[in-house]
A and B are shown apart, each in its own frame.
Chain A
């Protein structure tokens, strides 16, 4: 019997990875300080060609005619690429995980939907020649009305930004115009609240502005493959995206990366890879496509702007009894990752607080802006900003110290979250206590004694009877305070799915992909010993303190929640997209 000698590489198999708390040298540091870390553009190729794109000067226009004849004859030009040259000229990034419809062309064909949208690509021997030829491309546009505002975009009669989604909203599972969260009965709780705090928050798009601009170099390799030096943050995500758009077997692409000159989320879109590879396929030479700084700032996708409305119902003693949220994600002209951001946002609500009545409607709206994408906690950061500003306003309304207000309303281990999962490993109370400590902010003794580990669960783990409504349905704004359509009994975990979602394949060139991520069939799990519905199940305190008293009373000590299954790690990142958990 042949056996590998384990002694030869024994030291490499050391699983003793106890480095937390100790200083360790990063393995990429020597490369960084000597200037030898190989970024995508730090590769020499004989016969390297340069690709530049012609971009739309209009926010929204139909393309009547494109004339590239002068550009094709310009000095040094090797090839001019048009939409028809792209094998699968429609894609959406998350189609790789079977989510959303293909909606974005690599090169626009019949219309442009944002200023800066790529229309034609020029490949030439030098950058100067590519730029000179770019100026010779004639595109005849018919400018059509555009829409920039998320709420305007959702009104009837608004210009259609993205033909794949003709109502200007992303439709979840082909039938939901937004993402919805319902827990308890907010209207009833608002009616009984002492204070109502209502406000609107508007974010701006934010450019990642990486020091290294987006780009890639693709070159023919032996064995009919292509080597691609890329700055992609998700190298294999980019490989899959390029293979799909180019209708190539993925094993013909050899992506090299891992050195990202700053990304922050702005390098997950595969902005350049498909065209540089297509250029290499068409010319048989290495092709380099790098955004210049102006392109990076204007047309590299930003963090999407969000508009968020929050309404809180607060009792005199500081308890938040109801929170309603309406939020609009500005996807720009195409989906990219906004559909996912909105799901993250919904799952994050109502923030790290235990609020017995929550209602949220989260929309992804298309506008004639540069498509937005991932950026550092996208989907969460903006709504957190809005929530925390709103918390300060809530504290002010009920005359409470803002830190104590947060401790009073903080979730605790064992509490039921609005999306019907039990809160675990909570630590907001401790965070607030540490912040108060570090900043010398006075906290009452009672607030200091609070802990995330105690006081949770019990009645706070109940799922209240939940009213369902059509509020928020687009095209029916009058239903925003519409009637209750149904009341789910207390303890209901899920609403049954009535229909399997339609699996989305690329209609143009590929068969429907294997339907790997499936919906979990609905399995009703009748809760045992479900307590009867109580209008105000929220009980942080047995006795409500007077309104001006800053100290929150101790919550009753509740038994620890029934032993929960161990926290899952890994492999669940996108599971929320599908509304199911991988096991």
Chain B
């Protein structure tokens, strides 16, 4: 099938690639652009490990056609830290032991970021709702919720 060009921004830098019309964004990021932040967990929109932001909105990259990202801004976990300085949510995840195997963590962090940028002072229920699309099989939910609430309390996450 003929490939089509796609240009978009990835974590603030310009990227261009040729993709098959059926290619999803997750495959393009991982296999085309060597951006390994988002993970494959199911490929069918059920686990949330592939979560990214597209123009600031939470999206599952395994269910997003790569070609539809033309001209948009894709952000992954890899763009969260500012050089060696961790994002406040990353810092809170470190301090609250909010990762065990770490495989769900990129998706969790991205979901938490989307939540706090839209609602800097969420309730516990809103945090639970905010990560409800993300599965952690290592049973880290309690620590993850605590970490996100702590990041919110730190007041360092700005409304987008």
Which A residues are closer than 8 A to B by beta carbons? 25-26, 28-39, 41-42, 44, 48, 127-128, 209-213, 259-264, 290, 292-293
Question: In the assembled complex, which residues on chain B have CB atoms less than 8 Å from the CB atom of A29?
Answer: 93-94, 99
Further contacts, 17 of them, CB under 8 A, given A34-B81, A35-B37, A261-B102: A26-B97, A29-B99, A33-B86, A33-B93, A33-B94, A33-B105, A34-B77, A35-B80, A211-B49, A211-B101, A212-B49, A213-B41, A259-B101, A261-B39, A262-B100, A262-B103, A293-B47
In the bound complex, how far is the Cα of B105 from the Cα of A212, in angstroms?
A: 12
Q: Which residue from chain B places its CB closest to the CB of A209 in the assembled complex? A: B137
From known contacts A211-B104, A212-B101, infer whether A35 and B76 are also in contact, taking CB-CB under 8 Å: yes
In the bound complex, how far is the Cα of B20 from the Cα of A44, in angstroms?
A: 20
Number of B residues, CB within 8 Å of A: 41
B70 vs chain A, min Cβ distance (A): 22
Question: In the assembled complex, which residues on chain B have CB atoms less than 8 Å from the CB atom of A48?
Answer: 31
A184 vs chain B, min Cβ distance (A): 41
From known contacts A34-B86, A35-B105, A260-B101, infer whether A210 and B94 are also in contact, taking CB-CB under 8 Å: no
Q: Which residue from chain A places its CB closest to the CB of B98 in the assembled complex? A: A33
Question: In the assembled complex, which residues on chain B have CB atoms less than 8 Å from the CB atom of A35?
Answer: 36-37, 76-78, 80, 105-106, 109
Q: Which of B22, B34, B41 contacts A211 (CB 8 A)?
A: B41
Question: In the assembled complex, which residues on chain B have CB atoms less than 8 Å from the CB atom of A36?
Answer: 78
Q: Which residue from chain B places its CB closest to the CB of A32 in the assembled complex? A: B102
Asked if residues B41 and A212 are in contact (CB atoms below 8 Å), the reply is yes
From known contacts A33-B109, A261-B101, infer whether A211 and B137 are also in contact, taking CB-CB under 8 Å: yes
B6 vs chain A, min Cβ distance (A): 17
Q: Does B135 contact A (CB under 8 A)?
A: yes
Which B residues are closer than 8 A to A by beta carbons? 20, 22, 27, 30-31, 34, 36-37, 39-44, 46-47, 49, 76-78, 80-81, 86, 90-91, 93-94, 97, 99-106, 109, 135-138
18 contacts between A and B (CB under 8 A): A29-B93, A29-B99, A33-B86, A33-B102, A33-B105, A33-B109, A34-B80, A34-B86, A35-B76, A35-B80, A35-B106, A37-B102, A42-B30, A48-B31, A211-B39, A212-B101, A261-B103, A292-B43
A28 vs chain B, min Cβ distance (A): 7
A579 vs chain B, min Cβ distance (A): 35
Asked if residues A211 and B76 are in contact (CB atoms below 8 Å), the reply is no
Q: Which residue from chain A places its CB closest to the CB of B79 in the assembled complex? A: A35
Asked if residues B36 and A28 are in contact (CB atoms below 8 Å), the reply is no
Q: Which of B22, B93, B137, B138 gathers the greatest number of chain A CB atoms within 10 Å?
A: B137
Question: In the assembled complex, which residues on chain A have CB atoms less than 8 Å from the CB atom of B93?
Answer: 29, 32-33
In the bound complex, how far is the Cα of B103 from the Cα of A213, in angstroms?
A: 10
Question: In the assembled complex, which residues on chain A have CB atoms less than 8 Å from the CB atom of B41?
Answer: 211-213, 293
Asked if residues B94 and A30 are in contact (CB atoms below 8 Å), the reply is yes
Question: In the assembled complex, which residues on chain B have CB atoms less than 8 Å from the CB atom of A264?
Answer: 137
Q: Which residue from chain A places its CB closest to the CB of B31 in the assembled complex? A: A48
Question: In the assembled complex, which residues on chain A have CB atoms less than 8 Å from the CB atom of B102?
Answer: 28, 31-33, 37, 259, 261
In the bound complex, how far is the Cα of B9 from the Cα of A204, in angstroms?
A: 48
B43 vs chain A, min Cβ distance (A): 6
Asked if residues A293 and B39 are in contact (CB atoms below 8 Å), the reply is no
Asked if residues A32 and B99 are in contact (CB atoms below 8 Å), the reply is yes
Asked if residues B34 and A32 are in contact (CB atoms below 8 Å), the reply is no
Asked if residues B135 and A211 are in contact (CB atoms below 8 Å), the reply is yes
Question: In the assembled complex, which residues on chain B have CB atoms less than 8 Å from the CB atom of A293?
Answer: 41-44, 46-47
Question: Which 9 residue pairs of A and B lie closest in terms of their CB atoms, listed nearest first?
Answer: A32-B102, A261-B103, A35-B77, A42-B36, A35-B37, A293-B42, A35-B106, A32-B99, A33-B90
In the bound complex, how far is the Cα of B40 from the Cα of A211, in angstroms?
A: 9
Q: Which residue from chain A places its CB closest to the CB of B22 in the assembled complex? A: A128
In the bound complex, how far is the Cα of B103 from the Cα of A200, in angstroms?
A: 39
Question: In the assembled complex, which residues on chain A have CB atoms less than 8 Å from the CB atom of B138?
Answer: 211, 262
Asked if residues B90 and A39 are in contact (CB atoms below 8 Å), the reply is no
A243 vs chain B, min Cβ distance (A): 27
Asked if residues B39 and A34 are in contact (CB atoms below 8 Å), the reply is no
Q: Which of A36, A48, A209, A213 gathers the greatest number of chain B CB atoms within 10 Å?
A: A36
Q: Which of A29, A32, A210 gathers the greatest number of chain B CB atoms within 10 Å?
A: A32
In the bound complex, how far is the Cα of B93 from the Cα of A29, in angstroms?
A: 9
Q: Which residue from chain B places its CB closest to the CB of A43 in the assembled complex? A: B36
Asked if residues B94 and A25 are in contact (CB atoms below 8 Å), the reply is yes
A298 vs chain B, min Cβ distance (A): 13
Question: In the assembled complex, which residues on chain B have CB atoms less than 8 Å from the CB atom of A210?
Answer: 101, 103, 137
Question: In the assembled complex, which residues on chain B have CB atoms less than 8 Å from the CB atom of A41?
Answer: 30, 36, 39-40
Question: In the assembled complex, which residues on chain A have CB atoms less than 8 Å from the CB atom of B76?
Answer: 35
Q: Which of A32, A38, A44 contacts B105 (CB 8 A)?
A: A32
Asked if residues A262 and B36 are in contact (CB atoms below 8 Å), the reply is no
B46 vs chain A, min Cβ distance (A): 8
In the bound complex, how far is the Cα of B136 from the Cα of A210, in angstroms?
A: 9
In the bound complex, how far is the Cα of B101 from the Cα of A212, in angstroms?
A: 9
Question: In the assembled complex, which residues on chain B have CB atoms less than 8 Å from the CB atom of A26?
Answer: 97
In the bound complex, how far is the Cα of B103 from the Cα of A35, in angstroms?
A: 8
Asked if residues B94 and A211 are in contact (CB atoms below 8 Å), the reply is no
Asked if residues A212 and B109 are in contact (CB atoms below 8 Å), the reply is no
Q: Which residue from chain B places its CB closest to the CB of A292 in the assembled complex? A: B43
In the bound complex, how far is the Cα of B105 from the Cα of A115, in angstroms?
A: 34
Question: In the assembled complex, which residues on chain B have CB atoms less than 8 Å from the CB atom of A261?
Answer: 39, 101-103
B63 vs chain A, min Cβ distance (A): 13
Question: In the assembled complex, which residues on chain B have CB atoms less than 8 Å from the CB atom of A259?
Answer: 101-102
Q: Which residue from chain A places its CB closest to the CB of B27 in the assembled complex? A: A127
Question: In the assembled complex, which residues on chain B have CB atoms less than 8 Å from the CB atom of A212?
Answer: 39, 41, 49, 101, 103
Question: In the assembled complex, which residues on chain B have CB atoms less than 8 Å from the CB atom of A292?
Answer: 43
Q: Which of A30, A35, A48, A213 gathers the greatest number of chain B CB atoms within 10 Å?
A: A35
In the bound complex, how far is the Cα of B136 from the Cα of A262, in angstroms?
A: 9
In the bound complex, how far is the Cα of B103 from the Cα of A42, in angstroms?
A: 11
Question: In the assembled complex, which residues on chain A have CB atoms less than 8 Å from the CB atom of B81?
Answer: 34
Asked if residues A34 and B90 are in contact (CB atoms below 8 Å), the reply is yes
Q: Which of A209, A212, A213, A259 gathers the greatest number of chain B CB atoms within 10 Å?
A: A212
Asked if residues A39 and B39 are in contact (CB atoms below 8 Å), the reply is yes
In the bound complex, how far is the Cα of B42 from the Cα of A293, in angstroms?
A: 5
Question: In the assembled complex, which residues on chain A have CB atoms less than 8 Å from the CB atom of B46?
Answer: 293
Question: In the assembled complex, which residues on chain A have CB atoms less than 8 Å from the CB atom of B42?
Answer: 293
Question: In the assembled complex, which residues on chain A have CB atoms less than 8 Å from the CB atom of B77?
Answer: 34-35
Q: Which of B40, B86, B109, B138 gathers the greatest number of chain A CB atoms within 10 Å?
A: B40
Asked if residues B137 and A262 are in contact (CB atoms below 8 Å), the reply is yes
Question: In the assembled complex, which residues on chain A have CB atoms less than 8 Å from the CB atom of B20?
Answer: 128
Q: Which residue from chain A places its CB closest to the CB of B87 in the assembled complex? A: A33
Question: In the assembled complex, which residues on chain A have CB atoms less than 8 Å from the CB atom of B136?
Answer: 211
Question: In the assembled complex, which residues on chain A have CB atoms less than 8 Å from the CB atom of B44?
Answer: 293
Question: In the assembled complex, which residues on chain B have CB atoms less than 8 Å from the CB atom of A211?
Answer: 39, 41, 47, 49, 101, 103-104, 135-138
